[in-house]
Amino acid sequence: MTKKILMIFLLTASLGIISSCQSNNETNTITIELNGGNGIDKVTVVSGEIPEEPEIPVRENYIFNGWFLDSDFQQPYVFDEVIDEDLILYVEWTEIQGLTYTNPVYTQSTGADPHIIQYEDTFYIYVTGGKLLKSTDMVNWTDLGLVIDKPTWGTENANIWAPDIVKIGDTFLLYYSLSTWGDPNPGVGVASATHPEGPWTDHGKLFDSQEIGVNNSIDPTVFIGQDEKVYMIWGSMRGNYGIELSSDGLSVLNGIAYANENKVHIAGYDTSVGWSGDTYEGQYVIFKDGYYYLFLSSGSCCDGLNSNYHVRVSRSQNPLGPYIDDQDRSMLSGYRGRIVVQSSSRMVGPGHNSIIIDDTGTYWMVYHVYRTNDGITHNGRQVAIDQLVWTEDGWPYIENLMPTYSEQEGPIFYID
């Protein structure tokens, strides 16, 4: 994504009659001009020699992309050729978009369990309740309303929880939990669209808890592995499990009975063990530097300012594990994983995250928090963002292990 700002360099032969025997002494002038012809520098070269590359100019809020022989930026020019004729060089620039932000970045209504995706120059966040948020800068968000009508295939009064968004081929797939508090048989469904804003087609249930053999089957995350297979990991405080989906992501590979028998235990206790807050939910997976990183949330998500929700991370060289933490401990137990972010005196219960990478390669975590002592009307769990930093041995965390609350430099994205 580039904004094509031209900076013109003119290589022109000096005037005068020069004999052939003096041709090597002919001088040429590179005239640097900025938008509108204001020359700011001149460089002279001798005809028949290779000119030195001028110092790359500094342009605030832009990145220098290179020298080109054409204004369409298709023919790069390198200063390794003899100059023996007049030339015009063009410079391509990329405008940087970067704003400051203060958490939470969305406060108008609840933004629980936010999962983000970028499409072209726009960002979309899908949250519990089935609501869709839209932004062009990840700082200012607009509520677009519900993505789909409330499905009816689940328990009475169940609603959309913790949706996950992924693009497979040319299709956007929205995986959603259908659950209510104390639901004995929640499940996971899927909807599809050709654009993040829809219109969406709800394909209904993929599986419920009884069919797949995992209690509290909610909080799906779907990702494409390095082997180009489609995987799902899901579960909430009753064991986290993984399976492979069909290549289009619309069904369970080989059917539900096969998946029930062959599902992989990823984290937490076996699903036969009762609900335990020292285990995990809210899974999200990224791949970086040879590892799949599994982010999980532990603790109480929804107790307001008494919430002790927080994010932990483990990793594996395989999409379905085994996942281990920074102390080489298996995730098949409670309170495992390296802490990524936890509560502060100002932001409580950070968790259920997703991740996006800006155009500088910086990783940003999107998650929800409760605000405290700010004197502003509260609307439940609200959307926050923060930069992930990485240890030398490859473990991510938010600086100080706490949500930021003061003004911060935001993600950087290039503008078309």
Domain boundary among 97, 123, 140: 97
Question: Which residue is listed with tokens 């204004």?
Answer: 71
Domain boundary among 49, 72, 97: 97
Give SS3 for 84: coil
What is the Cα–Cα distance from 165 to 172, expressed in whole angstroms? 7
Residues 195-222, mean pLDDT to the nearest whole number: 98
Query: Same domain, yes or no, for 164 and 42?
Result: no
Query: Same domain, yes or no, for 354 and 311?
Result: yes
CB 94 within 8 A of CB 3: yes
| Banded pLDDT at 27 (limits 50, 70, 90) | low
Residues 190-194, mean pLDDT to the nearest whole number: 98
pLDDT in tens, 37-83: 444 455 566 777 787 787 776 776 677 778 787 778 888 888 887 77
Query: Same domain, yes or no, for 352 and 238?
Result: yes
| 209 DSSP assignment | H
Query: Same domain, yes or no, for 59 and 138?
Result: no
pLDDT at res. 287? 98
Report the number of distinct structural domains present in the chain: 2
pLDDT at res. 14? 28
Whether residue 49 is contained in a domain is answered as yes
Query: Same domain, yes or no, for 238 and 106?
Result: yes
Total residues found in the chain within this entry:
416
CB 188 within 8 A of CB 234: yes
Domain boundary among 65, 97, 129: 97
CB 158 within 8 A of CB 190: no
Whether residue 1 is contained in a domain is answered as no
pLDDT at res. 24? 46
Whether residue 330 is contained in a domain is answered as yes
Query: Same domain, yes or no, for 168 and 48?
Result: no
Query: Same domain, yes or no, for 217 and 79?
Result: no
In terms of residue numbers, what domain contains 32?
Answer: 7-97
Whether residue 124 is contained in a domain is answered as yes
Whether residue 365 is contained in a domain is answered as yes
pLDDT at res. 350? 98
Nearest 5°: the CA angle 82, 52, 7 is 100
Q: Is the dihedral of CA 70, 72, 76, 78 positive or negative?
A: positive
Q: Of 351, 352, 355, give the one whose Cα is nearest residue 342.
A: 351
Query: Same domain, yes or no, for 22 and 139?
Result: no
Whether residue 346 is contained in a domain is answered as yes
Whether residue 333 is contained in a domain is answered as yes
What is the Cα–Cα distance from 294 to 331, expressed in whole angstroms? 10
* Residue 283's CATH number: 2.115.10.20
pLDDT in tens, 109-158: 889 999 999 999 999 999 999 999 999 999 999 999 999 999 999 999 99
Q: What percent of the chain has pLDDT over 70?
A: 85
What is the Cα–Cα distance from 297 to 300, expressed in whole angstroms? 9
pLDDT in tens, 290-326: 999 999 999 999 998 999 999 999 999 999 999 999 9
* Residue 59's CATH number: 2.60.40.4270
Query: Same domain, yes or no, for 81 and 164?
Result: no
Q: What does the block give as tokens for 220?
A: 């799906």
What is the Cα–Cα distance from 32 to 365, expressed in whole angstroms? 42
pLDDT in tens, 235-280: 999 999 999 999 999 999 999 999 999 999 999 999 999 999 999 9
pLDDT in tens, 165-174: 999 999 999 9
Query: Same domain, yes or no, for 177 and 320?
Result: yes
Question: Which residue is listed with tokens 């939470």?
Answer: 104
Whether residue 2 is contained in a domain is answered as no
Average pLDDT, the chain: 87
Model confidence, pTM: 0.81
CB 50 within 8 A of CB 82: yes
Query: Same domain, yes or no, for 379 and 340?
Result: yes
- Burial bucket for residue 198 (CB in 10 Å: 0-12, 13-18, 19+): middle
pLDDT at res. 361? 94
What is the Cα–Cα distance from 283 to 300, expressed in whole angstroms? 15
Query: Same domain, yes or no, for 231 and 286?
Result: yes
